[in-house]
Every structure is written in C-alpha cells, then in structure tokens.
Amino acid sequence: MAVIFDKSISGRQGVRFPTSDVPEPAPLGEAYRRDGDAPLCELTELDVMRHFIELSHKNFSIDSGFYPLGSCTMKYNPKLLETVANMPGFANLHPFLPQLRRGCMLTQGALHVLYELEHQLCAIAGMDAFTLQPLAGAHGELTGLMLIAAYHRSKGNDKKEVLIPDEAHGTNPSSAAIAGFTTRSIPTDPETGMLNVDALATMVNDQTAAIMLTNPNTLGIFNSDVDKVVEIAHRFDAQVYYDGANLNAILGKFRPGDAGIDVMHINLHKTFATPHGGGGPGAGPVGVQEHLVPFLPTSRIEKRDDSTYQLNYDCPESIGYIAPFYGNFGVLLRAYAYIMSMGREGLIEASENAVLNANYLMNILKTKYDLPYDRTCMHEFVISAKNQVKHGVHAIDIAKALMDYGFHPPTVYFPLIVKEAMMIEPTETESKETLDAFAEAMLAIADRAEQEPGTLHAAPSSTCVNRPDELKAAKDMDFAHLD
C-alpha cells in the first residue's frame, strides 16, 4: 500500500497562491534558511482527497459495521452528541479562561455541565460524590486505589493487599500494583461463574486493603452475592472497589452504592456513548461514599449560593492532581448530552435491550459453540472455540474469518479463565436483522471448521492486511516488513 509520499509527482500542485500584492519582507538570515525545498508531497487536491478517502475505507468502525467487541461496548454513538460537542462555546474553550471574574461568564456553561454530570452519575450509581478527573477506566482504577490508600493512611491502617477475582480485567491488578499494593487472585466458582464467596472469606484479613469487584463480571454474569462480599470486607475495614467500566447492563436496575460499594469507576466512553477505540479518548469518573469524599482529587466543582459555579482547589486531605485540566471535557459533555437525551426511561430501556440482545445471540450460538457458563447473561457472554479446536480451528481463526463476512471480531482469549475464549457484546443499538446475520456467519464458520478447516487458517482474504506475524510485530519494531 503506497503512502502519500510515494504518490508525489514533481510539479503537481493542489493550491495556487495569488500573486503577492504586498512588499516582500526582508529575507531571513542565512542561518534560518533551508538548504533546499521542504520535502512535501506534490499532488492535486483530488489526489489528496482520493488517498485519504481510500484509507478511511480500510478502517472498520461502528458506523460501518457490527462490532461485538466484548467488554469494550462498541455501541452506536448518536450524531446528536457530536453536534453538542462541536458547539463553539464548548469546543473553543481554553483551559486558562477565568472561572468567574468581573462578570466574565465564559466558562460557567461548561462548569454547569460538569456539576450536573457529577450529580447524574451519583443518581445512576448510588454514590455520594464523583470526580470527573480521570482520563480512562484504568486511570479511574488507579485514582480509586489511591483514595483507598489515603483512607487507610488517615486511619493509621497498615494494609498492603488487594484481592481481585481471577476473571478481572488486566488493568485491575496493574492499577493496584502501581498504587503500591500487592495482589492476590480470588478463584471463580466453576458452577456459577461468580467469585467464590467461601474462598474469599478465608482470604480476607487485617492485611486486606481492598477487594476489587466487576459486576456483571467479565463472563457477563451478575454476581448476586455483592452484599455478602461487602459484608466480609467491612468486617476488616477493607474497602470494596467496583469496576464499573461496563454499566450497559445495569442502568436503572442496580446501583453499586446501594449494595455498600465504597468506591467505583465508570467508563463514560463505553456506557455513555463516546466514539472510542485504539486507546482513547476516554473518561473514567470515580464515585465514592461520604467517608472518601475528603480525599478526592482537586479540583472539585461547587455551586455557589448565587447559582454560579467554581472549581475549588482548597481540599487539604485530597490526593492532589490526577489530571490538571479537564482535558477530556468533550467526553464528559457527550456523556451529559447522552444521559439528557435518553432520560431515565431511555437508559433503562437501553440496558434491557443490551441484555436481551446478548441472550438472544448466546442462545443461537450455543448450538454450535461451547458455552462454559450456561446461565442467563447480562450485556455480554463468553463462548469457547473448544468444539472447533478438535478440527484444528482456534478462536483466532474464527475471529479472522469473521472479517471476511464484514464483521469486527469479538474480544478473543479473554477472560483468561476460559480457554479459547470469545467474548461477545452485541449492545442495545443493533437490530435483530444484524444479530441474525452475525449468528449466521458464526454458524457458517462452525460448519467450515468441521468440513474445510484449512480455509479458516488462510482467513481473512478480503482485508488489505491478512495475518500479520504477531510475534514479529511485537519483537521487531521495524515496520518495513508490513509493505
């Protein structure tokens, strides 16, 4: 595939400048002048347009096709949110504009959005306060664990260990380690697919700083024992952290705060519809109960008696800065606009449809694919390529083959406790027709695995890159071989 510089033709021009009608400025000093022309590519406007349109067609996005990437919640992002995010009063805000000075109201609208969003999240999650500072889910986890560390420090508790279920997202143990804790894995019960509460009870002790819980967990199963986990933890003054990266299944149905969860994060870019992927953009607000509020990062948004807003930096017990500016304001704004446009009933309906869609698909796919935890699922489910492995076909082959049918592959080889895992999250924004077309492709691939497994090893054949050598890609950072 040619890069734009390969297409350059000497002398081609895309822009013509009018003859200058102002006096020539004095020439730059010798030291500041180039030896030759700048190495730019020479193309017409049409050449440039075609090049980038062609590239954009090689890209897969939720706007171009079904994208059932489990745990990542790739749902349709209504374009209304883009209109709101592009309003000049928001889009052109500068972080150094004054909050409120001598009648200058330039940032009051943005502060109003932040204030309202915090209160909406409190209502949705049943928590007492949220910080909107963290820039991603993993960043939220780190913030939450730093809050827990600050809480224990303030009480003189010497607690070093965080307990994490073995199905958890990899960011959980990483965040705990970065926050200075050691970690231990809680086993999942093979029957229920939920963390084993009896095992947990034997693991919690004076050393336990926190338990991290994901619910629904990464198997897509709702843990009905949350209150028991909280009760066990609180016996030892351990805090319960809730990984709320995916709230798609529980909006209006379950509030972590009501179950006694102490601290949690929410991925706004997943549940509240910001286009995301490839590492950003994101927002991972962290919610806490009253006893953790003093430790929240600066700044805090406050409403004054005259109904104007301010950022308060005077928080003596705060863990300090997590991110100095609200650089993710666009994500926060989209989440606010999404919640406002959906309303309470709309959010509940979204969750119900997300769960319905996942169960519909799961029940079709389990006719040909192994379903290790055969229970009603929430917003996602995990199947395994175990039946196909007998024919030499692995999860990676099925994922690659799906691309030839026009679908984005699901998340594969995660969670780690399921061999040959394929984690499928259809989301509420997909129609029955799309789900049926995807199911048909998956069943056709299962048939091919039995009848002509070799063809699946060669897939995909319709994409511009078929199977990169993953080992080489990781070890040899010279990308020349991708020509």
Ligand X SMILES: *Cc1c(COP(=O)(O)O)cnc(C)c1O
Contacts with ligand X, residue ranges (CB under 6 A): 71, 136-138, 169, 171, 214, 218, 243, 245-246, 267, 282, 284
In the bound state with ligand X, the residue whose beta carbon lies nearer, of 196 and 246, is 246
CA distances 429 to 77, 78, 319, 355, Å, are 9, 10, 39, 11
In the bound state with ligand X, the residue whose beta carbon lies nearer, of 69 and 296, is 69
**H/E run at residue 412:** strand 411-412
Question: What is the Cα–Cα distance from 135 to 106, expressed in whole angstroms?
Answer: 24
**H/E run at residue 342:** helix 329-365
CB of 70 to ligand X, least distance (A): 8
CB of 81 to ligand X, least distance (A): 18
CB of 429 to ligand X, least distance (A): 18
For ligand X, the nearest residue by Cβ is: 137
CB atoms within 10 A of CB 213: 29
CB of 279 to ligand X, least distance (A): 8
Q: Using alpha carbons, select from 321, 252, 255, 263 the residue that is nearest to residue 288.
A: 263
CB of 456 to ligand X, least distance (A): 28
In the bound state with ligand X, the residue whose beta carbon lies nearer, of 246 and 357, is 246
In the bound state with ligand X, the residue whose beta carbon lies nearer, of 175 and 196, is 175
Q: Using alpha carbons, select from 218, 225, 220 the residue that is nearest to residue 168.
A: 218
Task: Please say whether the beta carbons of 134 and 286 come within 8 A.
Answer: yes
> Phi then psi for 263, rounded to 5 degrees?
-150, 145
Task: Please say whether the beta carbons of 272 and 335 come within 8 A.
Answer: yes
In the bound state with ligand X, the residue whose beta carbon lies nearer, of 242 and 405, is 242
In the bound state with ligand X, the residue whose beta carbon lies nearer, of 284 and 460, is 284
CB of 372 to ligand X, least distance (A): 18
In the bound state with ligand X, the residue whose beta carbon lies nearer, of 245 and 418, is 245
Q: What angle do CA 29, 33, 36 make, to 5 degrees?
A: 150
Which residue reads 């409120």 in tokens? 100
Question: What is the Cα–Cα distance from 271 to 269, expressed in whole angstroms?
Answer: 6
Question: What is the Cα–Cα distance from 193 to 423, expressed in whole angstroms?
Answer: 14
CB of 218 to ligand X, least distance (A): 6
